[in-house]
């Protein structure tokens, strides 16, 4: 009997000691463990897009992309589209003149639409006071520049490529892809590696992505050289 | 003999299991202010009187005699961190510029930050024409930043490791100035360029207000030209920097609009926010390190007020390329050029100019502006009905 009592007492003592010991361990100074300063993971170092497909659209492909992005709210103005990396992310984008379908203007202007309507003329290269107006509503039969931003290597052909813009006031189409190097006078806030859309109409306009919107400018102003860096 | 076995087993079990049972679940971090009174209250790190005194220093206007300039953006911390209360956000942006040669970004002459004000027109900084990378950056919320500082770097790294490879955030380590520039997981600023609030305070005091301190002892140049503001350096002996950091560490988290959050639409929107995948990066729940944890490379110990707290930042404090990058490199290396920190969405109901540059004005357009790593998630959003989109936006408006 005495032995059993002693054993029980010892057991209780042992449990108490275990708790105290373990708590003491837990209460040892906690130090945020340093992680080795390592380079970025491989997926962060590789180019965002590998071997992009910039081939021109085959018959019906542009229409498929336009329908995927805008449904039946717009119709292609002509059976021609331009491919380039207009937002500078390395993935091929599609630019095409479209006309707002007469009966679908309300859908185009829906504030919850799956695309963004921007006014090319309302933006300024200096992004000052006029930079952020709400564009006037698109009206039926209005001519618009539609741009579908690409996703990955397949770009605008990829079914996931659904980021799309309808640009009002870009009336100098059909548009041709050209290098940004030809326009050293452009302000290009971020995605300055993107291609430029050069109008082949009479206005001599260019359209380009600033990182947040498409803006239009005269090609002549864009070609104006700026001072070299000191 | 059997008794001794029981003793041994009991000891092991007690040692290994009981303390775990006693480990407390994290508690909710307190709110920064009551929506009724709009009065800032201390989170308990310091008493209310100290907190109010710290706030007054955070709001204090600096002048030329204090060392303002030679170039600067604002005269007080609260000028940019004020909405709806001191420490919050504002519409104010800063201007950054540099050059990209097709491979590497380089700073504008004198640094990528182009200050908008100067104490003398001769010192005014301007963007030089050939520095074609230009961007605005909105000022950020600082409420609740003490809890963010108290997140273990390993927690952030684990968040990144648990994200799908195509959406994996970039975890960078940046110098903690007060610890001889030893590195820690970055979490403050649009580029995660700071890991400690003291380093951040000293940086902002210098770069936004032109006031030097022991951690940042040299005044800024004017487009690379050394100019003198007439006050010997350091212009602050370090006390102000400490107070700014203490103020931010003592704030609660941005409170939600509880009335709106309780509506059926907001609750449905909350579910949709998770369902479409927004929470992959806009992480809903993070627990801070336990009280007593030594962080900032030895410079700070997590207090009881900040430790083991559950916060809902709706951000992962990691860098991502969602197609909106600003083209600027700071502490993260060239791979971060087009990446920005996931915007923590807590307190975002106080913001009306959205994304890093404030160029997007509606919630829907801000969502649609996400691309790159966020493409699949945003396509899930596109598939929602207008009713569901409105519910999701109602949820956002409750944050």
Picking from A14, A112, A229, the nearest residue to B364 by CB comes out as A112
Find which of A36, A37, A112 to mutate to test the B interface (most B CBs within 10 Å of its CB): A112
Q: Would the CA dihedral through A169, A171, A174, A175 be positive or negative? A: negative
Collapsing DSSP states into helix, strand and coil, what is residue B235?
coil
Specify which residues A75 forms β-bridges with. Answer: A99
The answer to whether the Cα torsion of A66, A71, A74, A78 is positive or negative is positive
> Nearest CA of chain A to the CA of B271: how many Å?
19
Q: Are B186 and B193 in contact (CB under 8 A)?
A: yes
Quote the CA–CA distance of A199 and A115 in Å, as a whole number. Answer: 23
Residue B347 confidence (pLDDT) above 60: yes
Task: Compute the average pLDDT of residues B102-110.
Answer: 93
Mark residue B394 as left, alpha or beta (left: phi above 0; alpha: psi -120 to 50; beta: remaining): alpha
Is a pLDDT exceeding 60 seen at residue B353? yes
pLDDT, tens only, B381-397: 999 999 999 999 999 99
Q: Say if strands B293-295 and A30-31 run parallel, antiparallel, or are unpaired.
A: parallel
What's residue A130's pLDDT? 44
A40:B379 CB<8 A: no
Instruction: Map tokens 């102000």 to a residue.
Output: B240
Chain A CB contacts of B11 under 8 Å are: 14-15, 17-18
Pairwise CA distance, residues B32 & B25, whole Å: 22
Query: So where are chain A's domains?
Result: 45-223
Shortest CB distance from B10 goes to which of A11, A34, A113? A11
Bridge partner list, B225: B222
In this predicted complex, what is the ipTM? 0.89
A43-62 residue pLDDT tens? 566 677 889 999 999 999 99
- Please list every residue in chain B whose beta carbon sits closer than 8 Å to the beta carbon of residue A188: 132-134
Report H helices in B74-232.
Answer: 77-80, 145-149, 153-162, 197-207
Judged by CB atoms closer than 8 Å, whether chains meet at B18 and A29 is answered as no
pLDDT surpasses 70 at A199 = yes
- Contact at 8 Å (CB) between B12 and B19? no
Burial class (CB in 10 A: 0-12, 13-18, 19+), B313: buried
Set of chain A residues whose Cβ sits within 8 Å of the Cβ of B338: 89, 190-191
Rounded average pLDDT over A3-31: 62
Task: Pick A211's closest partner by Cβ from B130, B185, B324.
Answer: B324
pLDDT band at B102 (very low <50, low <70, confident <90, very high): confident
Block residue for tokens 């579910």: B271
Both tokens of A77, joined, read: 């103005």
Please give, one letter per residue, the 3-state secondary structure of chain A: CHHHHHHHHHHHHHHHHHHHHHHHHHCCCEECCCCCCCCCCHHHHCCCCCCCCCCCCCCCHHHHHHHHHHCCCEEECCCCCEEECCCCCCCCEEEEEEEECHHHHHHHCCCCCCCEEEEHHHCCCCCCHHHCCCCCCCCCCCEEEEEECCECCCECCCCCCCCEEEEECCCCCCEEEECHHHCCCCCCCCCCCCCEEEECCCCCEEEEECCCCEEEEEHHHHHCCCCCCC
List the single residue in A with minimal CA-CA distance to B2. A7
Q: Please give the share of chain A, as a percent, with pLDDT higher than 90.
A: 51
DSSP string, B294-360: EEGGGTEE--TTTTTEEE--S--S-EE-SS---S--SSS-GGGTT-EEPPP-TTGGG--SBSTTS-B
Interface test with B, best of A91, A151, A163 (most B CBs within 10 A): A163
B37-90 per-position pLDDT tens digit: 999 999 999 999 999 999 999 999 999 999 999 999 999 999 999 999 999 999
Domain ranges in chain B? 48-397
Q: How far is CA B321 from CA A44, A79, B24, B340, B379, in A?
A: 10, 34, 37, 7, 16
**What residues are paired with B93 via a beta bridge?**
B138
Q: Which residues have a Cβ under 8 Å from the Cβ of A190 and sit 6 or more positions away?
A: A88, A210, A211, B133, B135, B324, B325, B326, B327, B338
Mean pLDDT of all residues in B367-372: 97
- Spatial contact of B193 and B183, defined as CB atoms under 8 Å apart: no
What tens digit of pLDDT does each residue of B246-302 get?
A: 999 999 999 999 999 999 999 999 999 999 999 999 999 999 999 999 999 999 999
Q: Among partner residues A16, A163, A193, which is closest to B102 by beta-carbon distance?
A: A193
A-B contacts at Cβ under 8 angstroms: 192
Report which of residues A184 and B160 the model is more confident about: B160
Nearest to B210 by CA among B77, B80, B72: B72
CB contact (8 A) between residue A11 and residue B6: yes
Over the stretch A129-148, which tens digit does the pLDDT of each residue have?
Answer: 344 556 789 999 999 999 99
**B357/A34 CB distance under 8 A:** no
pLDDT band at B130, cuts 50/70/90?
A: confident
Instruction: Report yes or no: B131 and B106 within 8 Å, Cβ to Cβ.
Output: no
Give the per-residue pLDDT at A217: 86
B90 close to B81: Cβ distance less than 8 angstroms: yes
Q: Do A114 and B14 touch (CB under 8 A)?
A: no
Closest-CA distance, B1 to chain A, in angstroms, reads 10
**Beta-carbon separation of B130 and A22 below 8 A:** no
C-alpha to C-alpha distance for A161 and B38, rounded to whole angstroms: 44
Identify the weakest region by mean pLDDT among A65-69, A181-185, B314-318: A181-185
Task: Taking each helix axis as running N to C, give the angle between helix A2-26 and helix B2-22, from 0 to 180 degrees, rounded to the nearest 10.
Answer: 30
Nearest by Cα to A147 from A218, A73, A79, A207: A207
Residue of A13, A30, A118, A133 for testing the chain B interface, max B β-carbons within 10 Å: A30
Report whether B26 contacts B310 (CB < 8 A).
yes
Residue A20 has pLDDT above 80, yes or no: no
Q: How far is A112 from chain B (nearest CA, A)?
A: 6
DSSP structural state of residue B135: E
Helix, coil or strand: residue B175: strand
Residues in chain B with CB shorter than 8 Å from the CB of A34 are 153, 182-184, 297
Angstrom distance (rounded) from CA B118 to CA B124: 5
* Mean pLDDT, residues A54-72 taken together: 97
CA dist A109 and A33 (Å) reads 52
pLDDT of residue B245: 98
Least Cα separation, residue A136 to chain B (angstroms): 15
Q: What is the pLDDT of residue A3?
A: 59
What is d(CA B344, CA A74) in angstroms, rounded to the nearest whole number?
36
Cβ within 8 Å, pair A186-B132: yes
Run of H or E residues at B182: strand B182-185
Distance from CA of B359 to the nearest CA of A (A): 7
Residue A74: name the closest of A98, A109, A45 by CA. A98
3-state secondary structure of B71: strand
Q: At what angle do helices B197-207 and B239-249 cross, to 10 degrees?
A: 120
* Nearest-CB residue to B128 (from A14, A48, A229): A229
């Amino acid at each position: 009997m005495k032995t059993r009592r002693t054993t029980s007492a010892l057991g209780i003592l042992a449990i108490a000691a275990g708790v105290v010991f373990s708590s003491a361990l837990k209460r040892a100074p906690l130090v945020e463990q340093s992680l080795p300063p390592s380079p970025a993971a491989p997926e962060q170092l590789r180019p965002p897009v590998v071997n992009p497909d910039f081939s021109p659209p085959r018959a019906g492909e542009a229409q498929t992309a336009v329908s995927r992005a805008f449904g039946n709210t717009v119709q292609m103005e002509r059976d021609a589209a331009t491919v380039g990396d207009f937002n500078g992310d390395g993935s091929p984008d599609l630019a095409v003149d479209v006309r707002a379908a007469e009966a679908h203007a309300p859908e185009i202007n829906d504030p919850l639409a799956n695309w963004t309507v921007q006014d090319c003329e309302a933006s300024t290269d200096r992004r000052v006071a006029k930079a952020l107006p709400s564009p006037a509503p698109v009206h039926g039969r209005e001519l618009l520049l539609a741009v579908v931003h690409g996703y990955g290597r397949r770009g605008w052909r990829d079914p996931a490529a659904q980021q799309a813009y309808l640009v009002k006031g870009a009336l100098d189409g059909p548009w041709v892809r050209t290098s940004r190097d030809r326009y050293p006078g452009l302000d290009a806030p971020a995605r300055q590696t993107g291609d430029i859309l050069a109008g082949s109409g009479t206005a001599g306009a260019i359209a380009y992505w600033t990182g947040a919107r498409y803006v239009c400018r005269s090609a002549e102003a864009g070609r104006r050289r700026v001072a070299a860096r000191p | 003999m059997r008794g001794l076995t029981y003793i041994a087993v009991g000891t092991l079990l007690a040692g290994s299991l009981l303390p775990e049972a006693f480990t407390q679940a994290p508690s909710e971090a307190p709110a920064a202010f009551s929506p009724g009174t709009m009065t800032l209250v201390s989170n308990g790190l310091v008493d209310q009187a100290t907190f109010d005194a710290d706030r007054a220093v955070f709001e204090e206007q600096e002048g030329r005699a204090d060392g303002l300039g030679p170039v600067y953006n604002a005269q007080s911390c609260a000028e940019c961190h004020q909405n709806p209360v001191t420490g919050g956000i504002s519409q104010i942006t800063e201007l950054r510029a540099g050059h990209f040669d097709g491979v590497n970004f380089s700073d504008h002459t004198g640094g990528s930050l182009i200050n908008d004000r100067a104490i003398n027109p001769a010192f005014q900084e301007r963007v030089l024409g050939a520095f074609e990378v230009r961007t605005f950056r909105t000022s950020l919320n600082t409420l609740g930043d003490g809890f963010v500082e108290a997140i273990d770097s390993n927690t952030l790294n684990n968040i990144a490791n648990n994200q799908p490879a195509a959406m994996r955030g970039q975890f960078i380590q940046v110098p903690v100035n007060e610890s001889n520039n030893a590195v820690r997981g970055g979490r403050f600023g649009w580029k995660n360029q700071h890991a400690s609030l003291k380093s951040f305070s000293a940086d902002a005091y210098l770069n936004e207000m032109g006031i030097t301190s022991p951690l940042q002892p040299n005044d800024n140049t004017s487009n690379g030209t050394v100019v003198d503001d007439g006050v010997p350096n350091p212009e602050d002996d370090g006390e102000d920097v400490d107070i700014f950091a203490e103020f931010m560490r003592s704030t609660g988290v941005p409170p939600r609009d509880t009335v709106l959050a309780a509506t059926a639409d907001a609750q449905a929107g909350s579910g949709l926010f998770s369902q479409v995948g927004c929470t992959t990066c806009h992480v809903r729940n993070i627990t801070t390190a336990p009280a007593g944890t030594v962080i900032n490379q030895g410079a700070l110990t997590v207090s009881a007020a900040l430790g083991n707290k559950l916060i809902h930042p709706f951000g992962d404090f990691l860098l991502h390329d969602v197609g909106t990058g600003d083209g600027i490199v700071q502490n993260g290396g060239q791979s971060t050029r087009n990446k920005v920190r996931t915007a923590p969405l807590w307190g975002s109901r106080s913001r009306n100019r959205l994304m890093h540059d404030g160029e997007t004005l509606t919630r829907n357009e801000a969502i649609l502006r996400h691309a790159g790593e966020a493409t699949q998630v945003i396509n899930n959003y596109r598939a929602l009905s207008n009713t569901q989109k409105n519910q999701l936006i109602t949820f956002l408006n409750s944050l």
